[in-house]
Amino acid sequence: EQLEHLLPTEMSGADFVAKHGGHGDSATTIIPSVEYKVRDCTRHPICENARVSEFRALLGAPASKEQLRRLGALMLESHASYSAVGLGSDA
């Protein structure tokens, strides 16, 4: 969150290639006409790591209704974050 403001919200593939010259990944292609969600795509793995760490800690704690609520909330947050990147499902 401290550095998030330094990232563009979105960037077209054309603008990315013009600024950076490519990405060096032979398995993926930058599509010039696509608007990429830079902040969401950067935020997801960082926040997902924090959610997974908390989830794991909760699984080791004594069972309670609050624990179950928080586990469910973490799963919903994970789904919402993944969907914001454009990879979620309607399920």
The model's pLDDT over 11-52, given as tens digits with 9 standing for 90+, comes to 999 999 999 999 999 998 999 999 998 998 898 999 999 999
pLDDT at position 50 is: 96
**Among positive and negative, which fits the CA dihedral 52, 54, 56, 58?**
negative
**pLDDT tier for residue 90 given thresholds of 50, 70 and 90:** low
**pLDDT tier for residue 62 given thresholds of 50, 70 and 90:** very high
pLDDT at position 88 is: 62
pLDDT at position 89 is: 62
Nearest-angstrom CA–CA distance, 52 and 77: 11
Question: Tokens in use for 31?
Answer: 């599509």
